[in-house]
Amino acid sequence: MTDPLIPAVLAFRPNGSPFSPLYDDIYHSAVGALEQAHHVFLRGNELPERWQRRRTFTVLETGFGIGINFLATWAAWRADPARCERLHFVSAEKHPFSAADLRRVLAITISDPLITELADALATAWPMLVPGTHRLEFEGGRVVLTLIFADAVESLPALRLRADAFYLDGFAPAKNPELWSPAIFKSLARVAGDDATFATYSSAGDVKRALTQCGFEYRKVDGFGWKRAMLVGRFAPRWRVRRHEPPAPFAHDARHAVVIGAGLAGCAVIERLAARGWRVTSLERHASVAQDASGNPAGVFHPMISRDDSVASRVTRAGFLYALNRWAALERAGHRLTRGDRGLLQIAADDDEASAISDAIATFRYPSDYVTPVSAADAAQLAGMPLARGGWFFPRGGWIEPASLCAAQLAAAGGLLERRFGVDVARLERCGDQWTVFDTAGTALARAPVVIVAGAHEAARIAGLRYAPTRSIRGQLSLLPEGSVAPLALPVIGEGYAVPLANGVTLTGATYELDDTDTTLRADGHRENIERVAQMLPAFASALDAAPLTALAGRVAFRCVTSDRMPMIGQLADEGAASRDAARLRGAWPLDLPRVDGLYGAFAYGSRGLVWAALGAELIASQIEGEPWPLERDLAEDIDPARFLLRALRQGTLS
């Protein structure tokens, strides 16, 4: 007999496309959902015993559903006094609920008040329904949920992690054979740690054969409720056949890192490492934090929309969503961020672009809380003044003062941070398992097993990189005084940008001048900024006559960009070792490259430091600690600092 819960659950499926096989299988009994999770997945993986007294423990699940298995695991972790320091739970879900529907389904599924509290926290933190990887943190960052909104068959091969336990869940094999195909089990074998365990309520013959072929040992045990039998076991291959081992945990006892640079990139790294208990020494050549481009009075943040959902769009989307979560966490902890909260308008360059991007928004079914197409009339109503044409509205986009963000991140690091200003780093030297950082006078400034170079234009030189084609872009901002233009209600971007600041001042910019080192304000730069904004906001043309352009205030800063306009984030390659082994590495992939132990880069953020810095810092911290990466491996490879070295190897041009 069908459980009365099932019709209610199916009614909440998004987009009117219920997947009844999933709910017939998992939620056959609402009363037994948590008990099944405990019996099959926790006890089947010998938890909580196996995670006890460990620094990190990672669970990989093949189907999230409404999160019952995650909630049961989280509750068991919370109740265990010998629990691991950090619990990672990674799961894929092809058809996620909306936050509102998830909350309603959990409310009718769960009656335990302790689990209800966790379920409410999950629903509150639930991400926007956009494709990709979403990282959510609970318990002060000690419980980390990494959700991949994608088909597990496609997403599992893109993971980079070391799994300690597998929850093989999601669908009955007979009803969704793709999820139980040999390819899935091969993906699991690629990421399995030594003696990783698994559990599944299925005991189908195809599942047994696939497990055995991929190096897993299994045994049949009693099932739960209406499940007569289930399988448990561990990863125990008879021989090593993996091309690459999963990432290993950090092996050094001293969790101490030196971060060179205290702008957006460096401060984000400091906060992410300190959140994991690392002691950090910050070295900055200026007299305070957030100088250079990070010292601008405001910067805009928003995702990118493209017709083909390009790499840049995917990375920027992941960075945008992760940054919003981190900023909210900082504010909940009592740190003040100076930022706008009314959204951001992007104005199309022409009618063709407006139509194309509107089509892309519809094609990818982006939710309205992520982006909404707007007509010229609707855009004018949002901005509070006429616009040349329509575009699209980002409700969660906006502006922020970078210096306030950097200050909050350093304050969050607390007593784990040592700040040193006015030091000019010249070079690094490796001795044993330690790095020594030297200044221009040859004086040793600091020693640590890990160094992160986050000094924008100086990063490649300090790290001794030859294959890091960065360039400097001069950007001049203009500050229009109160009364010179009508006040804007929210930031507007397009050919240029205009941001309403305090006291009626409007920030416009920015020029884009390649390899121009002049730091003086120029009247023609002010004119260019205003003219470009006036193409979107015709009323701004009056600012050209309101006062002499030479009298306008502004600021000049220099962006660091690569030739492909993507950032440099991650562990640095050993260029010398690669050169000596160039013939063998000509057909290499990123994971094949030799890497420099303990040396990482976070630079070349160009104009997108606000949306890339937090995610980049989390990626670096995850690489250092051997934790699951916060984005898909192919995207991490597209921002890998070694990608230009790899191109030279493949083209046979390595010198």
Same domain, 24 and 61: yes
pLDDT band of 22, cuts 50, 70, 90: very low
Which pLDDT value is given to residue 180?
Answer: 72
Whether the predicted pLDDT of 5 surpasses 60: no
Closest listed residue to residue 105, CA positions, set 200, 26, 179, 39: 26
Which pLDDT value is given to residue 203?
Answer: 77
Q: State how many domains the chain has.
A: 3
Same domain, 604 and 539: no
Same domain, 129 and 188: yes
User: Among 562, 595, 628, which residue terminates a domain?
Assistant: 562
Which pLDDT value is given to residue 232?
Answer: 96
384-415 confidence digits (pLDDT tens)? 999 999 999 999 999 999 999 999 999 999 99
Same domain, 165 and 199: yes
357 found inside a domain: no
User: Among 562, 580, 600, which residue terminates a domain?
Assistant: 562
Which pLDDT value is given to residue 174?
Answer: 63
Residue predicted with more confidence, 540 or 173: 540
* Cβ-contact 610, 264 below 8 angstroms: yes
Query: How much of the chain, in percent, has pLDDT values that exceed 70?
Result: 93
Closest listed residue to residue 200, CA positions, set 37, 53, 84: 37
Whether the predicted pLDDT of 25 surpasses 50: no
d(CA 77, CA 75): 5
Region 479-484: what's the mean pLDDT?
A: 92
Same domain, 496 and 586: no
pLDDT band of 28, cuts 50, 70, 90: very low
Whether the predicted pLDDT of 156 surpasses 80: yes
pLDDT band of 176, cuts 50, 70, 90: low
Region 234-246: what's the mean pLDDT?
A: 89
pLDDT band of 171, cuts 50, 70, 90: low
Which pLDDT value is given to residue 337?
Answer: 97
pLDDT band of 252, cuts 50, 70, 90: confident
Same domain, 503 and 625: no
Same domain, 69 and 168: yes
Which pLDDT value is given to residue 242?
Answer: 84
375 found inside a domain: no
* Cβ-contact 600, 307 below 8 angstroms: no
Same domain, 530 and 622: no
Which CATH number goes with the domain that contains 155?
3.40.50.150
548 found inside a domain: yes
Mean pLDDT (the chain) is 91
439 found inside a domain: yes
pLDDT band of 441, cuts 50, 70, 90: very high
317 found inside a domain: no
Which CATH number goes with the domain that contains 271?
3.50.50.60
* Cβ-contact 109, 101 below 8 angstroms: no
385 found inside a domain: no
Region 542-571: what's the mean pLDDT?
A: 92
CA angle centred on 285, ends 283 and 290, rounded to 5°: 85
493 found inside a domain: yes
Region 446-461: what's the mean pLDDT?
A: 96
Region 11-34: what's the mean pLDDT?
A: 44
Same domain, 540 and 636: no
Region 328-342: what's the mean pLDDT?
A: 96
Which CATH number goes with the domain that contains 501?
3.30.9.10
Which pLDDT value is given to residue 173?
Answer: 63
Same domain, 486 and 512: yes
Helix (H) or strand (E) holding 71: helix 68-79
Which pLDDT value is given to residue 399?
Answer: 97
User: Among 535, 562, 589, which residue terminates a domain?
Assistant: 562
pLDDT band of 572, cuts 50, 70, 90: very high
189-220 confidence digits (pLDDT tens)? 999 999 999 999 887 888 899 999 999 999 99
* Cβ-contact 90, 60 below 8 angstroms: yes
What residue numbers bound the domain in which 535 lies?
471-562
Closest listed residue to residue 638, CA positions, set 161, 304, 311: 311
Whether the predicted pLDDT of 84 surpasses 90: yes
590 phi/psi in degrees, rounded to 5:
-50, -40
Region 282-288: what's the mean pLDDT?
A: 96
- Comparing 5-9, 136-140, 185-189, the range with the smallest average pLDDT is 5-9
Whether the predicted pLDDT of 576 surpasses 70: yes
pLDDT band of 564, cuts 50, 70, 90: very high
Same domain, 597 and 537: no
Same domain, 152 and 83: yes
Region 487-501: what's the mean pLDDT?
A: 95
315 found inside a domain: no
Residue predicted with more confidence, 173 or 292: 292
